Amino acid sequence: MKTLRAYYRYYPAYILFRSLCGILRALPEPIVAKFVAIIAEIGYLTAVSHRRMAMANLDIAFGGLKTRREKRAIVRGAFRSVLFTYTELIRIPQTVHEINRRNAIVTDTAPIRDALDHGRGVIFIITHFGNWELLAHRGLVVCDGRVVSVARPINNPLIYQEIERLRCINGAVLLRKKWVVREIIEMLKHNWCVSVLMDQYAGRFAPFVPFFGCLVSTTPAAAVLAMRTGAAVIPVFNVRQRFGYHRMNICEEVPMVRTGDKEADIVENCTRINRVIEAWVRRHPDQWLWMARRWRRKKGPEEP
């Protein structure tokens, strides 16, 4: 009975979320785009702590290369980009039949085809850039439907069920984040494509490698999986053109080093991946999520 009561406490937020989904799906797309842009501007003005964090991150990344005015414009764009991303996901039932037209692949798919033709499997490097939520939907065509993504469930299981449904609406496969390494390795060995989110703080025990000239905690997952399975590591970036429309860029395979020194190889391979991510963030800084604590310092062993 206690568990049932705990479950029901999620319903108010769930009902509010589903109501919002209904409104955003019912309104014409131009009105939705203008409405969300206004909400993003309000968020920029009122979410003071997130705005300050984003500005501090830009100071670290660009220093004096950009003016305060340019940095504020980037932060405004970042707020707008993340709200556009989740609104586009909510509206996916209305747009999924146009997913190929709205998300044009503008680079050669040869790196993916070559890896799959040789049975290697592919590790897609995904970042909080453009609309990362739509990459799996678009990648299904390129990868013959063999795309799996790893996601961390949110606290409200009812809302997460709906988000999971939207993410898998046209056949994408989603794995819960805990205890999936063995399953991912098996999928790569069976020539599947796996998406790995690569631009988050990965904890104090993860390798600290260069990113915008500073050492940052970086998940070793992609490097370790590639070194273990021989899968191709291919970064992909979805650049938003306007609300609902994107250009998907497939990068060349990032070569992984294997010298026999595992720890050194992981650091070098993570550095190579971060180098590609940094180049794309520099190219379109307003489409990356600057509001996260990416540049946390490395704590000493005696610190909690």
Is residue 303 predicted with pLDDT exceeding 50? Answer: no
Is residue 171 predicted with pLDDT exceeding 90? Answer: no
**Residue 188: enclosing H or E segment and its boundaries?**
helix 181-189
**So what's the pLDDT on residue 249?**
95
Is 297 among the domain residues? no
**So what's the pLDDT on residue 136?**
83
Is 245 among the domain residues? yes
**94 confidence band (pLDDT: 50, 70, 90):** very high
Instruction: Write out the residue range of the structural domain in which residue 127 sits.
Output: 2-287
Alpha-carbon distance values, 68 to 41, 45, 49 (Å)? 17, 16, 17
Whether residue 29 contacts residue 244, with contact meaning beta carbons closer than 8 Å, is answered with yes
Is 71 among the domain residues? yes
How many structural domains does the chain have?
1
Per-residue pLDDT tens over the stretch 230-285: 999 999 999 999 999 999 999 999 999 999 999 999 999 999 999 999 999 999 99
pTM for this predicted structure: 0.92
Q: Show the tokens assigned to 228.
A: 């273990």
Task: Over range 195-216, report the average pLDDT.
Answer: 92
**Residue 117: enclosing H or E segment and its boundaries?**
helix 110-117
Is 298 among the domain residues? no
Per-residue pLDDT tens over the stretch 117-154: 999 999 999 999 999 998 888 888 888 888 888 888 88
SS3 126: strand
Is 296 among the domain residues? no
Backbone angles phi, psi at 207, to 5 degrees: -65, 140
Is 302 among the domain residues? no
